[in-house]
Structure 1
């Protein structure tokens, strides 16, 4: 009919040219962008820069506007109702996603405060046929941000009768004096004084008086140094992914379209199986099973571990205070050439010794790890070689380990330089096997073969079986035999726990000579929060009996022990007291022995404030506002918190929870800045005792703080003095003044007034 409008176009192809502003979606994932799209004769044109900005990888030669239908592999669709441009591209065109990291938790820089620590252990021994003696071991530490200076030693005194140590050993003996500083940024530890040289599995450590520089991964427990498996794949559309390790769900993450690499694998060791399940928006699932093998004996690619020490060999350790021998040097190096190969090297030198060796650890796919090393020495003009070869495999079903060490010629290392009568063994070989039999328990076997320097040979075979029984009871059986001897030695043990009352252990053993002995033991361990524990034992066989009894009482400040053991011919009575004294924050604290780091909580003088460490209540602050937390692990990012519910209404704290890491062997004074706020709520009225108008401006003249009058003439003020003056400015410009007094020792926020403002 004449005058009617033509029908609308059925598709964009009917439009000659238009500019559209459309929402962009890539592989069903919203980009959050509205882009300008040119439509020309049914073709869509988009700037190449826009596609690159949303993560699509395009050839470098493309620039300007790009026709979408000219890109092979890209499919576009125009949604006219939703005004959207839908693009589908191959997942490889999209950015790669790295899911997870190699850190087990966020890093916290380690700290230390100035302080001192004394560890002590007093031991009294009285034996019927050996006399009585007192031994007092001690460790003294002084620490700050510059490091830790420690000294260990023992004082010994014969009290009565004959003593095995003899009168010449009475008195004080110094053990080790060392200054140590760890740089957790560079993963280095510096030591000066009495040190133990670093070593590899196929070399030996020696005690030195000198200096040592070493890589120290322990200062960064958040880092994983050995290679962990990673899983790669592609997601065409937004999906969720679940990771199962050995049948247990490990993690669940959301995936964007594109390739991905999954690295958030838990810390595991040995052989295992990973199952990766991806689920898209429509519920379609794809499952992939990947076997893997993980070992902590390797280093990640590019990581290095080393130690270098030089000084004088320690001589007559624990016998002389200052006994040092010839000067020596030692160095070890490990380097992760790849995630499957770690190289090793070691060198030692002295005036009479030169030693060098190389080795490595190689992962054989999912079939375990092989290690080998070769070293050569020249000692006093005589040469020798040492060769080692080993293999390890661990899985949930079984574990196998083999290690062989063989020495030829006159091989020597630093352990024999200052010991003229010491010679290294010629060969050692060992094989161990363990089997997991599920409900039948676990079976273990071991073979050990050692040929000593004098050509004597010892071969030992050991078999063991353990099985859990009802509830928490367990049974253990062990037998061993020296090859060349037809007799076996056996031991059987049954352990029956009685909940909180203790644990009963019954055992029987037979020596290779045919003698048998039966044992019964009943023990109750000390509760974790402190208290009393005991141990009672009796053994009979071979014509004699053996009895023992001891009691442990662990208090917050000290651990006390006493006991007696022996047979009818001779008995030994003993007593022990062990603990620590800490000086920090101008106060002395008593606690059980502190072998690592610790923290002193300070609440600014406020007493009886509950303190928690890792969500566990550890105590309340003392009258000086301090509490010692002696269980902190060095470099661990521990959580410390105070309970603000016990605080008075006028006490404020900027925070009630802090996370810190403390340096090895030191302590830290952790302050929670509690402060008492002198505050009051004041009702202001005028001369007719009518509340001042809402919004009137109030100035506290002593502090200069301003406030505003609220409903019912109420105003709240902090930082008040004993005598206070308020100046109030009303809406019409008039002013008035009020004065009042406050008790600065008050523990509540008082309500003052009505106060007349004149």
Structure 2
């Protein structure tokens, strides 16, 4: 017998002896007691006490039984000398036997007896993001000038915003001059409040409202109350993919979606469910590879359909808007018309059914409708909408049906809609032309190796305009990562028939430079274009674009030069043909404010942050592992392009931190509010020790406070140092400045001030310091 075997045997003998001494005096003489190793569905659960009764039953203490992972409340309770035990024989689906050679009890339980295991496969944060509530502001500006064909154009536009916590106030404005005509106007102004806990947004001011698939979008000035799922990007808002199964033994389970491993878990026996599995849109195949305790492997293949046109069960999606319709947009600052109300509300009734309603109304029109989307198994999603309207006593009706299917190689879209002659909403009047019947369909299939072929067809029968149709066939393929081409042919039937064919080629040459060749021909004309472009780099640098165009007998050339740095974006362009030459200039940028700092940047289109690394200079700062820049002499750097509500990972380079500094963390996750500025500080502690010699002046006599206690108060903290035999002292990490200090010696206290210079020395000698008492 090995040493491990001897130890295990000895352990069982000791446990059995304890059982005999403390329990067996209270057991019935007809009952046997034993300490046995328990194997539950081949899983070693350890050693337990058991009572073996003559009827073939085995009793186990209820407290031990509840620790096995089986469902609570199984079996019949039996009292054994005041202790509650469970009868294994009374549990249906449970078989057991005692193996004398291994001194063990082997139990085989039906999987239905185990507690169900729920595994959440959605993204779990292993960190706590910084949710900023700082005050900030920004101003974006743009200037454009064009001169050509005997006419000039000047355009100036801007956007100003202020953010305080989850409040954001913005306003936009424009000025345009074309020849002698001038216009200046305020465009959109609003105050937005985002609620992170409830995922809701309230907007006061100007906004765009959407009423549903059969309604019309409108610009309003008023108030809007809506759900906003973008506040929590990790929230699963579509019906999640779930996979479940049953295990008889402990097993390793791997989840593959279309051949890609997405999850791997070790599970106990019983029923299990994987929830919120991240899947791609459309038809796919899930494969569960299960390897049990005996080494046997089985595959469970499940086709699934994941759709973003549905809504997770129990989830509400809505928007309610009320105000006055905005008029003369872009030409007048405060021009509003009739009052209006727009709303829609969707609800996920199940993982396969989403339904909702929409409404819009004004003083002379009312429109209300309902729509539903449901999953037709693995065959795709069907949408259906209907709306009723009334304007000036004229009723109207509109209905729409849609079918959508997507897989790795095939996409299908079918839509049909019909409006009655008098159907209306906020944007459409009964007298406006509309479709008696409109239908459209598209089917595309292919892959990376074969290319993609798409066929489209649309037909409309208008009340006034009559019939019109269009059919097209297109094909695209990438030859490599650097080259691709497309070809498209179409026929349009309206008042006349027009056939058109398009050809295109795109080539990437490297270093941001690409070229394109384009040719088009229809029944009336033909055109060709050749272009070479270079995109500006993510940081500071140049870009350019050159296009040679030929349209019929007319030839023209376009050229542009771009430059951008951390302070703005600049462009100059020239256009010319055989008769005219024109040029244009443009510049754009942003001005930001955060933490009493004003900075220049490119246009600020989202959130930004001021990173502070103590007062250390030239520390590299990264955003998602991409270097943004280095800190200035104040240890600060501006990052102008963060994503609102996302967890932006910002880190600093450890090699740039001096050795006499300690830092708690090199990376942080920042979740800024919408278009807000945040202050993100990395806390560093300067490792610096102070030494010197202390003495106490008493009646003009100098005494050394040997083995006394030194205290210094700095930054609302009291730090303690050591004092040696001859008055030499040692204390660490006192910041620069003048601080109150005192020394305790022989039951008395002597107070004095200590001035710490700003020094990079790790060991700073303060010399002789005398304290007068």
Structure 1 pair 650/249, CA: closer, same or farther in 2 (3 Å)? closer
* Equivalent position SS for 2:418: strand
Distance 1:156 1:757 in 2: 74
Note if 1:557 corresponds to 2:567. yes
Is the CA contact (8 Å cut-off) linking 2:184 and 2:332 kept in structure 1?
Answer: no
Instruction: Show the counterpart of 1:114.
Output: 135
Deviation at 1:316, TM superposition (A): 1.4
Structure 1 pair 294/573, CA: closer, same or farther in 2 (3 Å)? same
Structure 1 pair 108/82, CA: closer, same or farther in 2 (3 Å)? farther
Instruction: Show the counterpart of 1:499.
Output: 510
Count of residues in correspondence between the two structures? 720
Structure 1 pair 683/570, CA: closer, same or farther in 2 (3 Å)? same
Note if 1:239 corresponds to 2:260. no
Structure 1 pair 544/751, CA: closer, same or farther in 2 (3 Å)? same
Instruction: Show the counterpart of 2:211.
Output: 199
Distance 1:278 1:320 in 2: 67
Instruction: Show the counterpart of 2:667.
Output: 657
Deviation at 1:650, TM superposition (A): 4.5
Structure 1 pair 416/73, CA: closer, same or farther in 2 (3 Å)? closer
CA deviation profile, 1:213-249 (whole Å, cap 9, x unmatched): 0111111111010112211101111111111111222
Partner of residue 626 from structure 2, selected from 616, 619, 642: 616
Deviation at 1:277, TM superposition (A): 0.6
Structure 1 pair 715/373, CA: closer, same or farther in 2 (3 Å)? same
Is the CA contact (8 Å cut-off) linking 1:383 and 1:409 kept in structure 2?
Answer: no
Is the CA contact (8 Å cut-off) linking 1:697 and 1:707 kept in structure 2?
Answer: no
Is the CA contact (8 Å cut-off) linking 2:708 and 2:724 kept in structure 1?
Answer: no
Deviation at 1:317, TM superposition (A): 1.2
Instruction: Show the counterpart of 2:81.
Output: none
Counterparts in 2 of 1:192-591, with a 5 A limit?
A: 192-416=204-428, 423-452=433-462, 454-483=464-493, 485=496, 487-500=498-511, 502-513=513-524, 515-591=525-601
Deviation at 1:381, TM superposition (A): 0.7
Structure with greater strand share of residues: 2
Structure 1 pair 604/276, CA: closer, same or farther in 2 (3 Å)? same
Which one is further off, 547-556 or 646-655?
Answer: 646-655
Distance 1:96 1:476 in 2: 53
Structure 1 pair 744/63, CA: closer, same or farther in 2 (3 Å)? same
Structure 1 pair 76/464, CA: closer, same or farther in 2 (3 Å)? same
Tell me the TM-score normalised to structure 2 length: 0.86
CA deviation profile, 1:273-305 (whole Å, cap 9, x unmatched): 111110123321010110010110100111111
Note if 1:149 corresponds to 2:164. no
Distance 2:66 2:441 in 1: 59
Instruction: Show the counterpart of 2:152.
Output: 132
Is the CA contact (8 Å cut-off) linking 1:606 and 1:674 kept in structure 2?
Answer: no
Instruction: Show the counterpart of 2:26.
Output: none
Distance 2:315 2:749 in 1: 74
Distance 2:425 2:310 in 1: 25
Distance 1:222 1:406 in 2: 39
* Equivalent position SS for 1:224: coil
Is the CA contact (8 Å cut-off) linking 2:564 and 2:570 kept in structure 1?
Answer: yes
Distance 1:362 1:624 in 2: 58
Instruction: Show the counterpart of 2:196.
Output: 184
CA deviation profile, 1:508-528 (whole Å, cap 9, x unmatched): 221232x32222111111122
CA deviation profile, 1:309-342 (whole Å, cap 9, x unmatched): 1111111111211111111111111111111010
Structure 1 pair 24/518, CA: closer, same or farther in 2 (3 Å)? same
Distance 1:55 1:458 in 2: 68
Counterparts in 2 of 1:660-699, with a 5 A limit?
A: 660-674=670-684, 676=686, 679-680=689-690, 697=707, 699=709
Partner of residue 37 from structure 1, selected from 50, 54, 67: 50
Structure 1 pair 314/95, CA: closer, same or farther in 2 (3 Å)? same
Distance 1:589 1:564 in 2: 32
Which one is further off, 607-616 or 175-184?
Answer: 607-616
CA RMSD of aligned residues (A): 3.4
CA deviation profile, 1:95-139 (whole Å, cap 9, x unmatched): 11111244565785843321111111111111133x222211111
Instruction: Show the counterpart of 2:91.
Output: 71
Deviation at 1:463, TM superposition (A): 1.6
Structure 1 pair 352/109, CA: closer, same or farther in 2 (3 Å)? farther
Gaps in structure 1 of 5+ consecutive residues? 1-14, 686-695
Structure 1 pair 211/487, CA: closer, same or farther in 2 (3 Å)? closer
Tell me the TM-score normalised to structure 1 length: 0.87
CA deviation profile, 1:568-627 (whole Å, cap 9, x unmatched): 222331111111110111111111112122222123444333222222221122233332
Instruction: Show the counterpart of 1:718.
Output: 733
Deviation at 1:675, TM superposition (A): 5.5
Structure 1 pair 643/439, CA: closer, same or farther in 2 (3 Å)? closer
Which one is further off, 388-397 or 93-102?
Answer: 93-102
Is the CA contact (8 Å cut-off) linking 1:683 and 1:715 kept in structure 2?
Answer: no
Is the CA contact (8 Å cut-off) linking 1:275 and 1:290 kept in structure 2?
Answer: yes
Structure 1 pair 604/439, CA: closer, same or farther in 2 (3 Å)? closer
Which one is further off, 326-335 or 22-31?
Answer: 22-31
Is the CA contact (8 Å cut-off) linking 1:412 and 1:424 kept in structure 2?
Answer: no
Structure 1 pair 500/336, CA: closer, same or farther in 2 (3 Å)? same
Distance 1:451 1:698 in 2: 100
Structure 1 pair 681/54, CA: closer, same or farther in 2 (3 Å)? farther
Structure 1 pair 726/66, CA: closer, same or farther in 2 (3 Å)? closer
Instruction: Show the counterpart of 2:14.
Output: none
Structure 1 pair 56/440, CA: closer, same or farther in 2 (3 Å)? closer
Is the CA contact (8 Å cut-off) linking 1:682 and 1:716 kept in structure 2?
Answer: no
Is the CA contact (8 Å cut-off) linking 1:110 and 1:184 kept in structure 2?
Answer: no
Deviation at 1:437, TM superposition (A): 4.5
Structure 1 pair 19/709, CA: closer, same or farther in 2 (3 Å)? farther
Distance 1:99 1:117 in 2: 44
Deviation at 1:366, TM superposition (A): 0.2
Structure 1 pair 213/757, CA: closer, same or farther in 2 (3 Å)? closer
Structure 1 pair 103/350, CA: closer, same or farther in 2 (3 Å)? farther
Deviation at 1:714, TM superposition (A): 9.3
* Equivalent position SS for 1:296: coil
Distance 2:131 2:210 in 1: 24
Is the CA contact (8 Å cut-off) linking 2:236 and 2:276 kept in structure 1?
Answer: no
Is the CA contact (8 Å cut-off) linking 2:469 and 2:492 kept in structure 1?
Answer: yes
Is the CA contact (8 Å cut-off) linking 1:698 and 1:706 kept in structure 2?
Answer: no
Distance 1:726 1:176 in 2: 62
Gaps in structure 2 of 5+ consecutive residues? 1-28, 79-84, 696-705
* Equivalent position SS for 1:69: helix
